Amino acid sequence: DQQVKQNSPSLSVQEGRISILNCDYTNSMFDYFLWYKKYPAEGPTFLISISSIKDKNEDGRFTVFLNKSAKHLSLHIVPSQPGDSAVYFCAATYRNSGNTPLVFGKGTRLSVIA
């Protein structure tokens, strides 16, 4: 059973517009969520995270929203730029696990069109 789901395999957005990437989770014990960006032939790069005690975290053009009741989080990129084209992975963990394993979604490929 997939605990972290990214139901959209791909997304295309015009440059300058907002990109919204969605992620759903099933395990109510998850209390920390992360987004990673991955370019081809590179390792995933940490982008932004959010603790379950918050509902929003912002870092420049990137904002993550968390809706605990819906077990849903989203990553907003405003404005989108061609360099944002990459695969985005949502990940979740629970901090009392002892080894902090990350559970990843399958990823969403974002294409920002100039």
Partner 1 sequence: IAGITQAPTSQILAAGRRMTLRCTQDMRHNAMYWYRQDLGLGLRLIHYSNTAGTTGKGEVPDGYSVSRANTDDFPLTLASAVPSQTSVYFCARLAGEDTQYFGPGTRLTVL
DSSP letter for 27, please. -
Rounded to a whole number of angstroms, the minimum distance from the CB of residue 75 to partner 1 is 15
Question: What does the alpha-carbon distance between residue 81 and residue 45 come to, in Å, rounded to a whole number?
Answer: 17
**For partner 1, which is the closer residue by CB, 42 or 114?**
42
Binding to partner 1 (CB under 8 A) within 1-20 occurs at 6, 9
Contact yes or no for 102/95 (Cβ under 8 A) = no
Binding to partner 1 (CB under 8 A) within 71-110 occurs at 89, 91, 93, 95, 98-102, 104-107
| Alpha-carbon separation of residue 94 from 29, 31, 62, 109, 111 (angstroms) | 6, 5, 23, 26, 31
**For partner 1, which is the closer residue by CB, 14 or 45?**
45
Per CB under 8 A, residues contacting partner 1 are 6, 9, 32, 34, 36, 41-46, 49, 89, 91, 93, 95, 98-102, 104-107
